[in-house]
Amino acid sequence: MNKTLIIIRREFLSRVQKKSFLLSTILLPLFIFGLYGLIIYFSIKGEDNLKVVVADQTGMLEGKLDSSDNIAFSFTREKDPVSLQAELDKKNYAGYIVVPTSFEGKAGDSLVYISNSNVGLITKEKIQSRLNKALEKIQVQKLLAPGVSLAQLDSTKSDITLKVSKGGQKTGSTGFAYALGFICGILIYVILLIYGSMVMRGVMEEKTSRIAEVMVSSVKPYQLMLGKIIGIGAVGLVQFLIWTVLMLGLQMLLPLIFPQLLEQAVQHSNTMPGAAANSQQMDMVKEILKNMHDVNMGKILSLFILYFLGGYLMYSAMFAAVGSAVNEDPQDAQQLMLPITMPIIFSFVIMTQAINKPDGGLAIFGSLFPLSSPIVMMARLPYGVPGWQIFLSLLFLVFGIMGTTWLAARIYRTGILMYGKKANWKELWKWARKG
């Protein structure tokens, strides 16, 4: 055991003391934050007010087009296209639309937005949507009885909320459970692929540099493999925690770096009725807190750590076995990795089904089967899972870890000292039986 601890310590320290670890751990969040900041910067700078002039010769649209922060409509009595184009060339507005007298706003009719610059798809859709909404109101008004306004018609629309209760228990938000389940599942999926590959590359490096030969003379291959898996897993955990803290810290700096965001939020709230805006924000915060309380976040976080460790230990053992079987050719590793990555990908596919139908047969099977339970069960937990299913899932996962570790150790013991021979899965199975 002492030798395993020494290997764990060596693996951990040798990786965290590398410049590449420090650079990737610090630079990756900064890089993501930089991209995020650029997107915000260009979205702020790109959202200049678009002034659109409408030369409505029918008079049907005047006063019925809704302006917003980004697009402002104004009307003109000018009918001469040359004069309209001259004003456009002077940059008095971004573009203009001429509504001819023959225009009736029926299906199949069209209008032309004239501008001196290219118009993006989103901007085109926004202008088109405002025009269609205005024309729709005009058509609906014609169908209403005399004395009935559109505002009166809108007041009859209902907006109820349907909540879901399982077995008469407390109601919860299906949308919140869906989002939380997807985030937890995708995190486990990414972690398994990234850190499993890291274990495989670590084993390959030691084998090709012949360091493994020296170490196997002092410790058992099983101890060497276990120490490497736990050591790299600890590095991954530390890196993951640092990334989380850095991303949260950088997120809090966003309002200081981009004060325009705060100004826009204030302007937006000012455009709304004050009491209504504050009430909506408070209701949203209360709803999120209530949902977090209903789904028992403490339980979900605890099980997330358990499934993360279980999934990592199970898959990293198989990745280590593959790393021990290949030599210097990375293509050999890719071929042997396929049967390992396929269950992870299938688990992700099952997860997408599980978040839509958490009590379905496929979701239950996926959350109990050891190879898929770390991803699928995390997607089901926010909806509420019976305790016996969680117990069985963890029990099967422990058996899965023991089985894959035992099998991987037998392959590792032979493969780590095998050179010059291209291994395939038939060969690996032979090593596992005779190991």
How many CA atoms are closer than 13 Å to the CA of 104, on its beta-carbon side? 3
> Is the model's pLDDT at 331 over the cut of 80?
no
Mean pLDDT of 177-181: 79
What number of other Cβ atoms are within 10 A of residue 306's Cβ?
16
Q: What is the pLDDT of residue 167?
A: 65
Any residues with CB less than 8 A from the CB of 171 and at least 6 apart, and which? Answer: 163, 164, 165, 294
The pLDDT, as a whole number, for residue 275 is 47
In the prediction, which pLDDT does 224 show?
Answer: 79
198 — pLDDT class (breaks 50, 70, 90):
confident
pTM of this prediction exceeds 0.95 = no
pLDDT at 74 over 60: yes
Q: Read off the pLDDT of each residue in 48-74 and give the average, rounded to a whole number.
A: 81
Residue 88 phi/psi, 5-degree rounding, is: -65, -40
Distance of CA 170 to the CA centre of its chain: 28
* Mean pLDDT score across all residues of the chain: 79
337 pLDDT above the threshold of 90: no
SS3 readout for the chain: CHHHHHHHHHHHHHHHCCHHHHHHHHHHHHHHHHHHHHHHHHHHHHCCCEEEEEEECCCCCCCCCCCCCCEEEEECCCCCHHHHHHHHHCCCCCEEEEECCCCCCCCCCCCCEEECCCCCHHHHHHHHHHHHHHHHHHHHHHHCCCCCCHHHHHHCCCCCCCCECCCCCCCECHHHHHHHHHHHHHHHHHHHHHHHHHHHHHHHHHHHCCHHHHHHCCCCHHHHHHHHHHHHHHHHHHHHHHHHHHHHHHHHHHHHHCHHHHHHHHHHHHHCCHHHHHHHHHHHHHHHHHHHHHCCHHHHHHHHHHHHHHHHHHHHHHHHHHHHHCCCCHHHHHHHHHHHHHHHHHHHHHHHHHCCCCCCHHHHHHHHCCCCHHHHHHHHHHHCCCHHHHHHHHHHHHHHHHHHHHHHHHHHHHHCCCCCCCCCHHHHHHHHHHC
Mean pLDDT over residues 356-366, rounded? 87
pLDDT exceeds cutoff 90 at 267: no
CA 5/CA 278 separation, integer angstroms: 56
Q: What mean pLDDT comes out for the span 262-288?
A: 54
**Which of the residue ranges 78-92, 315-329, 412-426 would you say has the lowest mean pLDDT?**
412-426
**Bridge partners, residue 73, by sequence:** 52
Tell me the per-residue pLDDT of 4-46, one tens digit each, with 9 for 90 and over.
888 888 888 888 888 777 777 777 777 777 777 777 666 666 5
Q: Is the pLDDT of residue 369 over 80?
A: yes
Residues 347, 376 contacting (CB under 8 angstroms)? yes
Of the listed ranges 41-45, 57-61, 200-204, 301-305, the one predicted with least confidence:
41-45
Distance in angstroms (rounded) separating the CA atoms of residues 135 and 105:
6
Query: Mean pLDDT over residues 65-90, rounded?
Result: 83
Residue 171 has pLDDT above 50, yes or no: yes
Question: Which segment, 75-89, 332-346, 363-377, is predicted with the most confidence on average?
Answer: 363-377
CA dihedral 274→278→281→282, nearest 10 degrees, is -160
Q: Which of 19-33, 112-126, 392-406 has the highest mean pLDDT?
A: 392-406
Q: Is the pLDDT of residue 283 over 70?
A: no
Share of the chain above pLDDT 70, in %: 84
Q: What percent of the chain has pLDDT over 90?
A: 3
User: What are the CB-based long-range contacts (under 8 Å, 24+) for 41-49?
Assistant: 41/258, 44/258, 44/260, 44/261, 44/264
Quick count: other Cβ atoms within 10 Å of Cβ 227? 22
What's the confidence (pLDDT) of residue 397? 92
Please say whether the beta carbons of 370 and 397 come within 8 A. yes
* Per-residue pLDDT reduced to its tens digit, 209-243: 777 777 777 777 777 788 888 888 888 778 877 87
pLDDT at 273: 47
